[in-house]
Structure 1
Amino acid sequence: MSRILTAVLTLFCSPVAHALVPPDYQEPPSDFTAEIEAGFQLNTGNTESSSFNGRTKLVYDTDATRQEGTIKAYFAADDEKTTSEKYDLQLQSSYKFYSGYVFGRGDFTWDKFGSYTQVSTISGGYGFDAISNSSTKLSLEVGPGYRYNLPIATDTIPNPEANKDVILRTAAKFEQKLQEYTSLNADLTSEVGEDNNTLTLDMSYKNTLFQDWAFKIGVNIKYTQVVPEGSKQTDTITTFNLLYTFQ
């Protein structure tokens, strides 16, 4: 009797289970997304070397707000000494409404061999999506901010004083899906101040290899109008990374 009852329950439950969970069922998208990448880099400008870099990006995106944080690390050395050591931290909190969003942002850089060893920028303002569809997205941002720059020490100025400046920050963030498995991103940021101006272009090309893994080529170019004596105005970092995305 028990065997007959078990067989009946098995036959009854199997179609019910298939009806409740169809074979093509997928989990609903999550509000949380993370990217982790690491790989090889080439440096030109104030440093000439090649070595390791890593990046982690966390995004929590809901209907009302978007929280975003990015950490980058660059390290390079030749046969004799360390030639590059740089860390970037970017934080942005946005509150959405019908015509766009308002945001608060912090950008912090520690660069042992850069023209400025410490750069901290706090800014806020307004942003909106000029283009937003399934394949293309363009976001524009503008707002005031405050920047702190500490120049690198030189032989003529061994103890430099930090520069503090009120700035106007403008940014354009572009995302383009080229094909099903490839995409292009480009962020252009301008900071205009009374004492100094900067322009930063951050571009990347991503090609999905399989599932959540992708190969990514990135180029970061930063131009600083006023730099300490002996430093170059333009720094370029080119990266070749393996990227993993999960959500």
Structure 2
Amino acid sequence: MKTMLIASAILMAAPFAAQAGADFVEGDKTFGGDAELGATITTGNTDTTSVKARLDMKQELGNWENQYLLEALYTEDTGEVTGKRYLGLVQADYKLDEISYLFINANHEVDPFTGFDSKSTISSGYGHKFVDTGKTLFSVEVGPGYQYKRLDDESALAAGYDTEDSWVAHGVANFETEITDSSKFKQMFVADFGESLEGRSETSITANIIGALAMKFAVIIRYNDKPLDDKKSTDTETNMTLLYAF
């Protein structure tokens, strides 16, 4: 099942990648994004390491708007790994007009501290921009999806099974606005509802420092209403990173 899921994601992404390559050669493209990095390292009586990295790229190809996202979080305390999360995401939006579009999304997340080795989700549906003034954006996406999870060895032994899969209802609400000419506020909610409700909220403020360099403060909350027996429903992540726009 996992092989079929990954293969489906590749098949869906392949036409977009091929088109992107063609437009890049022809020069008829709009491409940009931002890269961010934050790290905390302490030594002495306490040895801790925390690293957060993220690369978010967007591309416009005619009626297509594509997003490519890579995200990583790693924390270590006195030689023991206390947090590890990796996320890869590809989304393609096809514009129906200036305010509505169809989307296809495929993402894969590795977070062993939830009791799952990995989680893969594919979804598609309809998106609508209720507000888009250039300085303020509010959009909503809804549609069906399919989710596949693989439990780690310890959780699989306790549960008596090693994989979970289900159809889900996928929804995204995104709001962003310029506070000043040099600062921006963003709020995003992502939810997948199937056999359980899983949600993600990200609140961030970005303030420009100089040129393309900015400082970003973010609070990320992840929620699962049916976690594994020895896990908590809510995870919270707070970080400060440097962001470079290109």
Contact 1:172 1:189 in 2 (8 A): yes
Give the superposed CA RMSD.
Answer: 1.9
**Rounded Cα–Cα distance in structure 1 between residues aligned with 2:160 and 2:240:** 36
Runs of 4+ in 1 over 6 A off after TM superposition: none
Deviations 1:85-131 (A, max 9, x none): 21011110111112511010012100122233311110000001100
Structure 1 length-normalised TM: 0.80
Counterparts of 1:43-54 in structure 2 under 5 Å? 51-54=50-53
Helix, strand or coil: the match of 2:124? strand
**Rounded Cα–Cα distance in structure 2 between residues aligned with 1:215 and 1:202:** 16
**Rounded Cα–Cα distance in structure 2 between residues aligned with 1:155 and 1:215:** 41
Does residue 95 of structure 1 match 2:94?
yes
Helix, strand or coil: the match of 2:113? coil
Query: What is the CA distance between 1:70 and its match in structure 2?
Result: 0.6
Partner of 2:69: 70
**Same amino acid, percent of matched pairs:** 24
Q: How many residues align structurally?
A: 209
Partner of 1:211: 211
Does residue 55 of structure 1 match 2:54?
yes
Query: What is the CA distance between 1:40 and its match in structure 2?
Result: 3.6
Partner of 2:116: 116
Contact 1:40 1:50 in 2 (8 A): yes
Counterparts of 1:111-190 in structure 2 under 5 Å? 111-152=111-152, 153-154=154-155, 157=158, 160-190=161-191
**Rounded Cα–Cα distance in structure 2 between residues aligned with 1:72 and 1:155:** 26
Contact 2:203 2:220 in 1 (8 A): yes
Evaluate the alpha carbon distance shift between residue 226 and residue 158 of structure 1 in structure 2; reply closer, same or farther with a 3 A threshold: closer
Q: Which has the higher contact order (CA 8 A, sep 6+)?
A: 1
Partner of 1:14: none
Structure 2 length-normalised TM: 0.80
Which stretch has the larger CA shift, 89-98 or 106-115?
106-115
- Structure with the higher fraction of residues in helix conformation: 2
Deviations 1:173-198 (A, max 9, x none): 111100000001111011110x2111
Structure 2 unaligned residues grouped into runs of 5+: 1-28, 41-47
Greater Rg over alpha carbons, structure: 1
